[in-house]
């Protein structure tokens, strides 16, 4: 589908509007310099374990000592944390001690910018270790919100070339998450379930569907080639998903990322896992979604001023490309 005229579309989950303006795709935009190899020694490479704080967990198929080589995925504290461990404390009105966890999930021992070349099974190992860590943090009410995310490429906020995800917890549920839960409560239904029902009817934005999971380019995509992966049935807490679902989700994510790499090359992107805060009174309204957000459009003045993203690729065209 090609849009002759720009459209404004409203995202049913958050209520935010986006501009779908394919005509703007014709303007020159540099983005391929986003994966510059680092200068100096990479702290995430196998053999350089001493350059990170002591590991919190790791997968070592052949055993071996912590903080030594032989791992396939490794979680370590972030060397430059945004929050610190400690006791939650109110410091004043609108002022809290920023206590929490800030950790790095190193996705592979080799110096690679992406792990799609290692296969879907490896991605499952990465996401399995991250799920375990997030489940353990989320079980403690002091971590009101635990975010798993990935910044890949400088344009997506990455400071290191070596493939990694991050886990960052905060002692307050972020306003954006609050708003989504309250929106579902006031609508009287789950907007993600509603959107999936709608996508099944329209059949123009679905990329793939199997094993109870669906991947689609959302109607009001804010980013070119944006993809959501989520369970077709309502499930609030992604970190509690069973192993068989984790395996299917990893395979689906691997297919989506491989498809995007085929189309875009090495592309800057964020992965954002959004579920529901474990102890929130409205947690039942959450429907977990893994968002794949290619960062090919800048967040510039208009976007900051309005909160309205400008997307240059219609989601219908993005889905068609990925299905192909």
Which stretches of the chain bind Zn ion, using CB under 5 A? 42, 44-45, 111, 162, 190, 192-193, 234, 287
Q: Could you tell me whether strands 289-294 and 269-274 are parallel, antiparallel, or unpaired per DSSP bridges?
A: antiparallel
Task: List, in order, residues 6 or more apart from 322 with CB less than 8 Å away.
Answer: 207, 217, 225, 227, 256, 259, 260, 263
C-alpha pair distances (Å), 220 with each of 20, 226, 228: 8, 10, 11
Q: Could you tell me whether strands 17-20 and 309-311 are parallel, antiparallel, or unpaired per DSSP bridges?
A: parallel
Q: How far is the C-alpha of 48 from the C-alpha of 41, rounded, in Å?
A: 8
**Minimal distance, residue 234 CB to Zn ion, in Å:** 3
**Minimal distance, residue 137 CB to Zn ion, in Å:** 24
Q: How far is the C-alpha of 221 from the C-alpha of 8, rounded, in Å?
A: 11
**Minimal distance, residue 163 CB to Zn ion, in Å:** 9
Q: Of 52 and 248, which has the nearer Cβ to Zn ion?
A: 52
**Minimal distance, residue 287 CB to Zn ion, in Å:** 3
Selection from 181, 209, 224, 202 nearest residue 27 by Cα: 224
For residues 67 and 54, is the Cβ–Cβ distance under 8 A? Answer: yes
**Minimal distance, residue 282 CB to Zn ion, in Å:** 13
Q: How far is the C-alpha of 292 from the C-alpha of 28, rounded, in Å?
A: 23
Q: How far is the C-alpha of 277 from the C-alpha of 282, rounded, in Å?
A: 9
**Minimal distance, residue 107 CB to Zn ion, in Å:** 10
Q: Of 101 and 192, which has the nearer Cβ to Zn ion?
A: 192
**Minimal distance, residue 44 CB to Zn ion, in Å:** 4
Q: Of 90 and 187, which has the nearer Cβ to Zn ion?
A: 187
Q: Of 73 and 192, which has the nearer Cβ to Zn ion?
A: 192
Selection from 215, 210, 197, 206 nearest residue 271 by Cα: 215
Q: Of 168 and 190, which has the nearer Cβ to Zn ion?
A: 190
Q: Of 34 and 192, which has the nearer Cβ to Zn ion?
A: 192
Q: Of 113 and 315, which has the nearer Cβ to Zn ion?
A: 113
Q: How far is the C-alpha of 186 from the C-alpha of 181, rounded, in Å?
A: 9
For residues 267 and 153, is the Cβ–Cβ distance under 8 A? Answer: yes
**Minimal distance, residue 187 CB to Zn ion, in Å:** 11
Q: Of 211 and 303, which has the nearer Cβ to Zn ion?
A: 211
Angle, helices 175-187 vs 191-202, to 10°: value is 70
Q: Of 108 and 313, which has the nearer Cβ to Zn ion?
A: 108
**Minimal distance, residue 40 CB to Zn ion, in Å:** 11
For residues 238 and 246, is the Cβ–Cβ distance under 8 A? Answer: no
- The alpha helices in the chain, defined as continuous H runs, are 120-138, 175-187, 191-202, 243-264, 301-306, 315-323
């Amino acid at each position: 589908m090609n849009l002759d005229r720009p459209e404004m579309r409203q995202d049913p989950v958050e209520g935010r509007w986006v501009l779908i303006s394919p005509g703007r795709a014709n303007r020159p935009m540099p983005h391929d310099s986003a994966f510059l190899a680092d200068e100096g020694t990479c702290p995430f490479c196998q053999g350089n374990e001493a350059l990170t704080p002591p590991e919190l967990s790791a997968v070592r198929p052949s055993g071996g000592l912590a903080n030594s080589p032989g791992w396939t995925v490794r979680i370590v504290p972030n060397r430059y944390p945004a929050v610190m461990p400690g006791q939650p404390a109110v410091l004043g009105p609108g002022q809290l001690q920023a206590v929490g966890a800030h950790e790095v999930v190193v996705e592979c021992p080799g110096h690679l910018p992406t792990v799609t070349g290692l296969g879907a099974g490896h991605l499952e190992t990465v996401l399995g270790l991250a799920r375990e860590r997030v489940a353990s943090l989320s079980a403690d009410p002091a971590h009101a919100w635990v975010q798993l995310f990935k910044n890949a490429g400088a344009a997506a906020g990455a400071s290191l070339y070596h493939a990694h995800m991050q886990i960052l917890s905060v002692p307050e549920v972020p306003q954006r998450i609050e708003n989504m839960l309250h929106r579902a409560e006031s609508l009287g239904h789950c907007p993600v379930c509603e959107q999936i029902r709608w996508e099944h009817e329209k059949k123009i934005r679905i990329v793939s569907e199997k094993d109870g999971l669906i991947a689609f380019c959302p109607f009001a995509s804010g980013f070119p080639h944006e993809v959501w992966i989520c369970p077709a049935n309502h499930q609030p807490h992604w970190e509690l998903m069973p192993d068989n679902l984790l395996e299917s989700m990893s395979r689906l994510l691997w297919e989506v990322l491989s498809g995007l790499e085929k189309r875009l090359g090495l592309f800057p992107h964020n992965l954002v896992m959004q579920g529901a805060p474990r102890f929130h009174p409205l947690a039942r309204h959450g429907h977990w979604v893994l968002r794949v957000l290619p960062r090919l459009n800048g967040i510039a003045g208009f976007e900051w001023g309005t909160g309205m993203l400008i997307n240059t690729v219609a989601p219908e065209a993005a889905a068609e490309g990925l299905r192909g």
